[in-house]
Amino acid sequence: MQRLQEKLAACIQRGDKAMGLFMTSGFPDPESTLPVLREMDRGGADFIELGMPFSDPLAEGLPIQRSSERALQAGVRMKDTFRTAAAFCAESNTPLLLMGYANPIHQYGIAAFCRDARNAGIEGFILADVPLEEHLPFAGEAAASGLGLVHLIAPNTPDERIREIDRATTAFVYAVSITGLTGSGLGAIEHVETYLKRARSMVRTHPLLAGFGIRTHEDAVRLSRHTDGFIVGSALIEKVETLWNHESKPPKTHYEEIRRFVRALKNGDKGAEEENP
Amino acid sequence: MEKTHPLPDERGHFGLYGGVFVPETLIPAVEELRKAYEAARKNPAFRQELDTMLTDYAGRPTPLTFCKRLTTTLGGPKIYLKREDLCHTGAHKINNTIGQILLARRMGKTRIIAETGAGQHGVATATVCARFGLHCIVYMGEEDVERQHLNVLRMRLLGADVRPVSSGSRTLKDATNEAIRDWVTNVRDTFYIIGSVVGPHPYPMMVRDFHRVIGDETRRQLREMEGRSAPDAVVACVGGGSNAIGLFYAFLKDPNVQLYGVEAAGEGLNGRHAATLTQGSPGILHGAMSYLLQDEDGQVQLAHSISAGLDYPGVGPEHAWLRDTGRVHYASATDAEAIEGVKLLSKTEGIIPALETAHAIGWLPEGIRGMAHNEVVVVNCSGRGDKDMGTIAKHL
């Protein structure tokens, strides 16, 4: 978890907004996940969330649902996710988190999961269906393995609960930008900004990052005005989905396009040629 | 109202099971619901409103019918049927939708959503929405839309917007995912009427409370008919488990009453089935920890049953707890045994049961073996079979 904390602290110190990127493990196919992660990294990701596919992803909109279904159909299992994660962590210092749902971890065994995650070099995890009310067994094992457990807040989360989540989370607070699913539209942007401003005034201990519904550099700039950074998932998944559905083009071009897309997310059009140090 | 056991605890746990495994966006909604329900259950005016509607609209109390010819045919204990099939809309489901719609109105919610498998809960929800002029959206798996077409027509006639769900298994599990996604998206004005004793706290407790009338009436009726309020055994089919818990709840504290829940064994326990408590393992789905049909990676597996209402890979958390404590015995009946159950009850008593109910009937010949003639068994006749005639016809 230390690498993630240091990375976010460094971004804040430089005055940069941190960019987190989500990719489903096993998507677009089991062999291509790792090279896709590499391009996300080179394109400028400050950290990466690797999605653990689940049969019933009830907080996801269609793009991530489809990616999860495709990965499961291709036979991707938790051990494959760990393998991909370990390979990525062996070659990059960019912090890697796992994101998903409680049941696959419960079934794996929470302690065994945390141990294997730690051994793979993973920094922590985010669970979409584990709120404060149920987090203790997960948080306990995570802490024992030196992993972080990132908590989410939503636009309808009351002030006192936001403060409580700020105390309970590790690494950062994940502000879901809208009451909705991943990949939804942002709706009236003033409402999102009002909420993020409110969240900013409550979250004092940890960095605050906004996610859900961010599709472009402009969205990212706007939403990170009141936060320390932003997270993009569905838009990137859709990009990959579109590329891999054009079978005629060689994969090499796909990877270049992913890198370009990621750079543009971070820097806008003008910064699209910059290389990640 | 008297509680027969102190569970769930304040956080919605039945031992290891239950809880609130939902995205943060739904926490304020389940919290609002929990508080509204706590207030309503203590409010005599709410109780009165509920009782009146159960009587004047749903047709309660439902009869307890002694099955003379079935008893003679099986040659064992005296068999009674609790006639939930005679409720308005043809199944017990309306007890719960009446309770939840009255609560939704008190909470000022204007948009109602529901999931449905066989369509019975969808029909019961569309019915109460029509009664109160509320907008109703029902999520239903595409496969169920095809095999339960009659109920789709009923829901549409009642003014509901039936939305076919094409993701995943295209049955109840994915209809529930889609209803939860709708709730996350429209959380401020939407009330989600869950159709069984599943989902995050307070649903398993609240839905149980709305169905406990089944068992409470049975005790009173049995006292009049048999001179004692507790039978020797109670039997109900279990999918999510709402009709079963509704009947069992009144007898949990009587250690001499044997309780039997009958799950769907589908093609047999070695093949495709929906016997979650018999064959599954603990896991987390749709907001709660309970038993689950899942693979070793924690991916939820497809359930199978001839009955669309039992075709669900999860089960209510209170059943999970009752299984572990041994208070309830969970058994199963196959598709073929359910069909035999339909035939048996139809021919001996002139009652065509729903395919769900038929699992409890189909289990009887085996299940009551060894019981004496003077013993008494109550079976929950949770629904009527009209909706299943298409399926039943293929097996006559």
Going from the N-terminus, what domains does chain A have, and what CATH number goes with each?
2-275 (3.20.20.70)
Decide if A126 contacts A49 (C-beta within 8 A): yes
The Cα of A13 is separated from the nearest Cα of chain B by a number of Å equal to 30
Sign of CA dihedral B231, B236, B241, B242: negative
pLDDT at A267: 93
Measure the CA angle with vertex B181, ends B180 and B185; round to 5°: 115
Residue to test with chain A: of B9, B21, B166, B289, most A Cβ within 10 A: B21
Alpha-carbon distances of A148 from A77, A103, A266, B1, B271, rounded to whole Å: 22, 18, 25, 44, 41
Chain B neighbors of A169, CB-CB under 8 A? none
pLDDT at A6: 97
Record the pTM. Answer: 0.96
The Cα of B266 is separated from the nearest Cα of chain A by a number of Å equal to 22
pLDDT at A251: 78
B164-193 residues touching A, CB cutoff 8 A: 167-168, 173-174, 177, 180-181, 184-185, 187-188
- Cα separation, B360 vs B233, in Å, equals 12
Residue linked to tokens 């003077």 = B374
Which residues of B are marked as active site? 67, 92
> Encoding tokens for residue A112?
């065994």
Residue B57, classed as helix, strand or coil, is coil
- C-alpha closest to that of B289 among A60, A138, A77: A138
Residue linked to tokens 């009351």 = A158
Residue B224, classed as helix, strand or coil, is helix
Q: What is the DSSP string of chain A?
A: -HHHHHHHHHHHHHTPPEEEEEEETT-S-TTTHHHHHHHHHHTT-SEEEEE---S--TT--HHHHHHHHHHHHTT--HHHHHHHHHHHHHH--S-EEEEE-HHHHHHH-HHHHHHHHHHHT--EEEETT--GGG-HHHHHHHHHTT-EEEEEE-TT--HHHHHHHHHH-SS-EEEE-SSS-TT----SHHHHHHHHHHHHHH--SS-EEEESS--SHHHHHHHTTSSSEEEE-HHHHHHHHHHHH-TTS-HHHHHHHHHHHHHHHHHTTTTTTPPP-
Name the active-site residue from A6, A39, A60, A91. Answer: A60
pLDDT at B3: 57
- Cα separation, B352 vs B334, in Å, equals 18
The Cα of B344 is separated from the nearest Cα of chain A by a number of Å equal to 39
pLDDT at A277: 44
pLDDT at B2: 53
Chain A neighbors of B187, CB-CB under 8 A? 156, 179
Does A154 contact B292 at a Cβ distance shorter than 8 Å?
no
Q: How far apart are the first and last CA of chain A?
A: 21
Decide if B313 contacts B284 (C-beta within 8 A): no
Is-catalytic flag, A60? yes
Does A157 contact B22 at a Cβ distance shorter than 8 Å?
no
Does B292 contact A103 at a Cβ distance shorter than 8 Å?
yes
- Cα separation, A135 vs A149, in Å, equals 9
pLDDT at B114: 98
- Cα separation, B249 vs B261, in Å, equals 12
DSSP B382: -
Please count the residue pairs, one from chain A and one from chain B, whose beta carbons lie less than 8 angstroms apart. Answer: 112
- Cα separation, B83 vs B218, in Å, equals 10
Q: Is B302 on the interface with A (CB under 8 A)?
A: no
The Cα of B284 is separated from the nearest Cα of chain A by a number of Å equal to 5
Sign of CA dihedral B294, B299, B305, B311: positive
pLDDT at B207: 98
Name the active-site residue from A6, A31, A39, A49. Answer: A49
Alpha-carbon distances of B245 from A116, A273, B210, rounded to whole Å: 40, 63, 10
pLDDT at A270: 62
- Cα separation, B145 vs B139, in Å, equals 10
Q: Is B287 on the interface with A (CB under 8 A)?
A: yes
The partner residue sitting opposite A55, judged by closest CB among B22, B287, B299, is: B299
Quick one: three-class SS letters along B225-272?
Answer: HHCCCCCCEEEEECCCCHHHHHHHHHHCCCCCCEEEEEEEEECCCCCC
Q: Beta partners for A155? A: none
- Cα separation, A148 vs A125, in Å, equals 6
- State the amino acid at position B47 in one-letter form: R
Helix (H) or strand (E) holding B334: strand B328-334
A64-83 residues touching B, CB cutoff 8 A: 65, 69, 72, 77-78
* Burial track A106-132 (b if 16+ CB lie within 10 A, e otherwise): bbbebeebbebbbebbbbbbbbbbbbb
- Examine the predicted complex and report whether its ipTM is higher than 0.90: yes
Q: Is B36 on the interface with A (CB under 8 A)?
A: no
- C-alpha closest to that of B301 among B271, B336, B339, B334: B271
Point out the residues of chain A with pLDDT beneath 70.
248, 270-277
Decide if B172 contacts B194 (C-beta within 8 A): no
Torsion angle defined by CA atoms of residues B210, B215, B219 and B222, in that order, rounded to the nearest 10 degrees: 130
A136-155 residues touching B, CB cutoff 8 A: 151-155
Question: pLDDT tens digits for chain B (396 residues)?
Answer: 455 677 999 999 999 999 999 999 999 999 999 999 999 999 999 999 999 999 999 999 999 999 999 999 999 999 999 999 999 999 999 999 999 999 999 999 999 999 999 899 999 999 999 999 999 999 999 999 988 899 999 999 999 999 999 988 888 999 999 999 999 999 999 999 999 999 999 999 999 999 999 999 999 999 999 999 999 999 999 999 999 999 999 999 999 999 999 999 999 999 999 999 999 999 999 999 999 999 999 999 999 999 988 989 999 999 999 999 999 999 999 999 999 999 999 999 999 999 999 999 999 999 999 999 999 999 999 999 999 999 999 998
Half-sphere exposure of B5 (CA within 13 A, CB side): 22
pLDDT at B200: 98
pLDDT at B118: 86
Cβ contacts of residue B228 below 8 Å, gap of 6+?
B222, B376
Chain A neighbors of B22, CB-CB under 8 A? 129, 131
Phi, psi of A102, deg, nearest 5: -65, -40
- State the amino acid at position B316 in one-letter form: G
> Encoding tokens for residue A85?
């994660």
Helix (H) or strand (E) holding B165: strand B161-165
- C-alpha closest to that of B159 among B116, B110, B123, B190: B123
